[in-house]
Amino acid sequence: MTDELLWSGVSGQATAVAAGEVSAAALLEATLARIEQVDPTLHAFTVVAADAARAEAAARDAAQAAGEPLGPLHGVPVAIKDENDVAGLVTSFGGHGNSEPVAEDGEATRLLREAGAVVVGKTNLPEFGQFPFTESERFGNTLNPWDTSRTPGGSSGGTAAAVASGMVAAAIGGDGGGSIRIPSACCGLFGLKPTRGRVSASPWPDLWGSLGVIGPLTRSVLDSALVYDVLRDRVTPTDRWRAPDSTSFVDAARSGGDGSAPRLRIGWTPRSTVPGVKPSAEQAQALRETVTLLGDLGHEVVEVAPRYPDVTAAFLPQLFGAVREETRRVQHPDRLEKRTREMARLGVWATPRVVAAAERRGERIAEIVDARVFGLVDVLLTPTIPGLPPPVGAVEGRSAVPSLLASTPMVGYCAIWNVTGHPAAAVPAGLSPDDLPTSVQLVARRGAETTLLALAAEIEKARPWAGRRPVVS
């Protein structure tokens, strides 16, 4: 087992196992060794299910030896954000609220296993995923592999740290206000928030009302597409949201890589939806360089000045309503963090009727954005986050309101697209002079994830990133 296989991504690992170059069991043991080496520093995992994963890898090898058909993720170790159900494990939501293991996989986990993936464990998040910093009283602060004094972002920060450090090639995150894109930006990953209703939320009917979605974080565009082609368009009868069926994400990623994707009209802006939030010098430079690159690739690139609607009245009721609902769902509400219980009390006004009104307001905002932005351009290009990854401890020890205020700038480019349901992707843009990742965000019309994947793959080919390794490697 070479170190290179651990860094070869989903595509490389799946190909090696299917070709018989390495067994699923051997790949898993190398993965577990990498986790044992790196995770004591990063605190990415809440639990490593080594014994269960070994049994699963052995079953994958037995099936392959018997000549059974292999799934597209056959033998690939993956991790799951600890707000999603994995049979036999406690769904912690980043805290002490639950103590009993769940009996069944959530739908996303089930689909990954059906495709042949091996689940190695669950990853850290702030309790209930409330903040864009992965700081948990129970599991500690997750650290950024590029600089362990910095945050990996959140709320899928454990997922991002696990992938960026080479512990796994892909891991599942969730995004209710930027929680796939923000940690991807902080850790130098590709992270696509899909269109609302693209991936099943089952066993729950929705995630944070109309805000939340599930998806992978990976080091390459193709790896993301491979995982999404397992997850997409498989919603269940209990899911509230259903996106129109899509075409192959893998084909879209490959069209970007081979130059066959169509040329686009791309609007770019440094403007945030939060007053006073502007990109740092490093992120502004990354944006300008990407504008130049896209022009060189033959796209029509124009500066735009979107008149973004105010999303506060659509976003905050759903956030507070979700925290109140999740507080009711856990087995031990009294064991939740003090800040979480405070959020639930502050959100007493976020009744189901108020949340429903916020969802309707979000749909009106989506229609406005469609007219003001996507009536003019195919893709919108912005920064993903305003600055470089902040130091660890951004909300540590703070009460609810100061934590929300500290979080607001981090979601300034992302949260609007949760309100509207548009797909949006964080794309690596290089390293700052301090060797920290920079990132740009691509946004497309609802249902147009394939447009983003093709464009991101073009950027990736012109500006290779996936082979770079952080400090902890």
The catalytic residue positions are: 81, 155, 179
Partners of 425 in the β-ladder? 192, 442
In whole angstroms, give the CA distance from residue 223 to residue 184: 14
Cβ proximity of 413 and 182 under 8 Å: no
Continuous segment of H or E residues that includes residue 13? helix 9-18
User: Would you say how long the chain is, in residues?
Assistant: 473
Give 84's Cβ-side CA count (13 Å radius). 31
Q: Is 109 left (phi over 0), alpha (psi -120 to 50) or beta?
A: alpha
**What tokens were used for 149?**
């004094």
Other CB atoms within 10 A of residue 60 CB = 27
Cβ proximity of 426 and 181 under 8 Å: yes
Cβ proximity of 164 and 188 under 8 Å: yes
Cβ proximity of 143 and 43 under 8 Å: yes
* Residue 187: alpha-carbon gap to chain centroid: 11
**Through-space distance between the first and last CA atoms of the chain, rounded to whole angstroms:** 16
Cβ proximity of 97 and 330 under 8 Å: yes
Continuous segment of H or E residues that includes residue 265? strand 265-268
**Closest among 41, 36, 136 to 339, alpha carbons compared:** 136
Continuous segment of H or E residues that includes residue 214? strand 213-218
Continuous segment of H or E residues that includes residue 290? helix 281-296
